Amino acid sequence: MKLNELKIIVTGAGGGMGAHFARRLAEAGARVAAGDVNEAGLSELPASVFKRRLDVSSEKDCGEFVQWAHQSMGGLNGLINNAGILRDGLLVKKDRTTGQVTKLSAAEWDAVIAVNLTGATMMVREVVAKMVETESKPGVIVNISSIARHGNRGQSNYVSAKASLAANTLTWAREFAPFGIRVGAVAPGMIETPMTKGMNQKARDALVARIPVGRIGVPEDIWLGVKFILECDYFSGRTFDVDGGLSM
């Protein structure tokens, strides 16, 4: 699809990669509906972008946002499933000094799964249902997974969500092909965003030192991958890493 033909939702658009995607799409002439719990961040997007608060962990919010986006843009044929959070921690940890054993809390597990997996899935469900209902095709969905899907210490919750999202990229590509809807995924490596800035500094520095291209990524690097999926009508059902050669 051509970018200026898109009427597309971007979740997690209040900052970081999501905000960058929304800006680049708007610059290309797409109609964009941006959602995030960070309303202050949304307000900084261009005036041409439709903006509304969206908590993807709320099934009700997802449904209402999609209806609003469809009405606001005069249609809907795309989704960038970008919203995500981190609640890192070892599943089980033993303090080397005291011997105390601590566990990843159910709340930390549930929070990440609710946003990164359940919320992403609900957005896909609602967007595709609207496209099918209105017979809008072709359509395209881009899931933002992560290279952490291959497994990463201290991220059981995040890994589970991002691996599932990558696997379901193929599942959904097969399910939605009869409706003329493609599904692809980009798996970023270490990217300079507010989320990664909040990482443990020692862990962050160690990861950056292992990137073969010699630098941390920037949102534009991931945008180029997203843009490829949006524009290449022969791409579907696959997840590709954009990570500077980093192996977790």
Spatial separation of the C-alpha atoms in residues 234 and 126, rounded to whole Å: 24
CB 78 within 8 A of CB 130: no
Q: Which of 43, 44, 50 lies closest to 68 in space, CA to CA?
A: 50
Give a yes or no: residue 73 inside a domain. Answer: yes
Q: Which of 50, 109, 158, 172 is catalytic?
A: 158
Beta-carbon count within 10 A of 95 CB? 9
Domain count, the chain: 1
Query: 């995030």: which residue's tokens?
Result: 36
Residue 12 domain boundaries: 3-234
Q: How confident is the model at residue 185 (pLDDT cuts 50, 70, 90)?
A: very high
How is residue 117 annotated by DSSP?
I
Give a yes or no: residue 240 inside a domain. Answer: no
What 3-state class would DSSP assign to 244? coil
Q: Which of 132, 112, 128 lies closest to 172 in space, CA to CA?
A: 128
pLDDT in tens, 31-89: 999 999 999 999 999 999 999 999 999 999 999 999 999 999 999 999 999 999 999 99
Give a yes or no: residue 245 inside a domain. Answer: no
Would residue 234 show up in a list of annotated catalytic residues for this protein?
no
CB 229 within 8 A of CB 186: yes
Write down the pLDDT at residue 208. Answer: 84
Give a yes or no: residue 241 inside a domain. Answer: no
Distance (Å) of CA 233 to CA 187, 206, 236: 19, 38, 8
Over residues 160-164, the mean pLDDT reads 98
Give a yes or no: residue 247 inside a domain. Answer: no
- pTM equals 0.93
Give a yes or no: residue 239 inside a domain. Answer: no
User: At 32, which CATH number?
Assistant: 3.40.50.720
Spatial separation of the C-alpha atoms in residues 240 and 108, rounded to whole Å: 28
Give a yes or no: residue 242 inside a domain. Answer: no
pLDDT in tens, 204-247: 788 788 899 988 999 999 999 999 999 999 999 999 999 999 87
Give a yes or no: residue 146 inside a domain. Answer: yes
Query: 């960038």: which residue's tokens?
Result: 80
- List Cβ neighbours of 205 (8 Å cut-off, separation of 6 or more): none
